[in-house]
Amino acid sequence: MWTNSMLKQNGMANFTKNRWACVVVCLILGIATGGGSGSVGSNVGRNAGGSSSNGSLDFNNIDWDVLIPIIMAVMAVLLVVLVIGLVLKIAVFAPLEVGCQRFFIVNRVQEKAQINNVAFGFKTNWKNIVKVMFFKNLYLFFWGLLCGIPAIIKGYSYRLVPYLLAENPDMTADEAITLSRQMMNGQKMNAFVYDLSFLGWILLSALTCGILYIFYVGPYKKCSDAELYTAIKETYNPQAVM
């Protein structure tokens, strides 16, 4: 049975033997998993359009013929940005995430894995990878609407999908998601405790404005995450879930 200390020890060894490649791939993975979403903020002056003597907004003085086209233009721009973000998330960032996990899996068994492994998702059954990751993220989105514990549990249930695709890019969505759920059956709490073991490092990274995370904690954890996937895969017993 694997232990957190064993996973982290092996992860550190895999990180140190290929340090700078791991740092670069971890940065790419950060873009892949966080680059598909963004926020747009705007500040509106409190006295826009005029105000009455008591400081409240006076709608009678607003020139709606001018304001409505501006509002429509802003909404159109935001819609375009949203569509572009979704397309990038689905068609680019998802297969890039699979490629990054491919790198960390390969880095376990090779002396020095090559950064070009991150292109795996684009060179090997790209359409299927995009489809599987789309359904995985779609299911997580709907579970996320429930908030709280159910969303967290499902996040752990689907955790292994990118790793499974990194080794089996021809798996269907049903196969990958079902297998991830089965493999994580009985392992979700173990994985949660494993993630908590990095909490101190993450808090320390915050004190360095993320610099420590970029060059040390992030790639160290991603190498250890690949160890976690391998350990769960090796201890998985299909008969136990039949």
pLDDT tens digit sequence for 114-138: 999 999 999 999 999 999 999 999 9
∠ CA 217-23-196, rounded to 5° = 25
Q: How many CA atoms lie within 13 A of 101 on its CB side?
A: 26
| Of residues 167, 102, 101, 161, the one with CA closest to residue 134 | 161
Tally of residues, the chain? 242
Contact 58, 49 (CB under 8 A): yes
∠ CA 96-98-100, rounded to 5° = 70
Q: What is the reported pLDDT for 106? A: 97
Q: What is the reported pLDDT for 121? A: 95
Task: Extract the residue ranges of the chain whose pLDDT is less than 70.
Answer: 35-64, 239-242
C-alpha dihedral (172, 173, 178, 179), degrees to nearest 10: 50
For the chain, the 3-state helix, strand and coil shares in percent, each to the nearest 5, are 75, 0, 25
Instruction: Please state whether the predicted TM-score (pTM) of the whole model is above 0.85.
Output: no
Q: What is the reported pLDDT for 39? A: 34
Contact 139, 157 (CB under 8 A): no
Main-chain phi, psi angles of 51, to 5 degrees: -145, 155
Q: What is the reported pLDDT for 35? A: 41
Q: What is the reported pLDDT for 146? A: 83
Contact 200, 156 (CB under 8 A): no
Q: What is the reported pLDDT for 36? A: 38
CA distance 171 to 153: 23
Q: What is the reported pLDDT for 45? A: 40
Q: Which two tokens stand for residue 206?
A: 């915050």
Q: What is the reported pLDDT for 54? A: 53
Q: What is the reported pLDDT for 49? A: 45
CA distance 178 to 165: 13
Contact 86, 36 (CB under 8 A): yes
Contact 226, 105 (CB under 8 A): yes
